Amino acid sequence: MSEAPCQTEETVGLFAGQHVLAELSGVSAELLDDEQFLKHALGEVLTQADATVLEVISKKFDPQGVTVLALLSESHASIHTYPEVGSVFVDVFTCGTRAKPALAVQLLADALGAAHVSTDVVTRGIKEHAA
């Protein structure tokens, strides 16, 4: 039996989560244009933040820039890079209480060597249950 979206063993039926929206800047243009590095890094930081990574896909653009999407049991994550300005948009949404989306963003910022990190956290769903 498969689980419905936003359900884990610990939080079956829990309609609540956190959506972390971030902007990272001061990142090497070379790293922001390295599709394989970005795919690996996103998958690794999500795993370290206790998210369940199901699949990671990516697209490299011409002349530059990469988008990486991760499908999670807990929801999704994405990064959209802008090498020409050394910046990246990061979006991590996890429902339930196990995964730590803010930690995933911080670990990604560290992996990229970001000089500046700006985040907004949106509590979604039933507010009293969100982590």
Would you name the residues annotated as active-site residues?
75, 80, 95
Q: Taking a C-beta distance cutoff of 8 angstroms, is the pair 49, 103 a contact?
A: yes
- C-alpha to C-alpha distance for 79 and 105, rounded to whole angstroms: 10
Q: Identify the three-state secondary structure at position 18.
A: strand
Per-residue exposure over 79-99, b if at least 16 CB sit within 10 Å of its own CB, e if not? bbbbbeebbbebbbbbbbbbb
The CB density around residue 60, as the number of other CB atoms within 10 Å, is 15
66 beta partners: 60
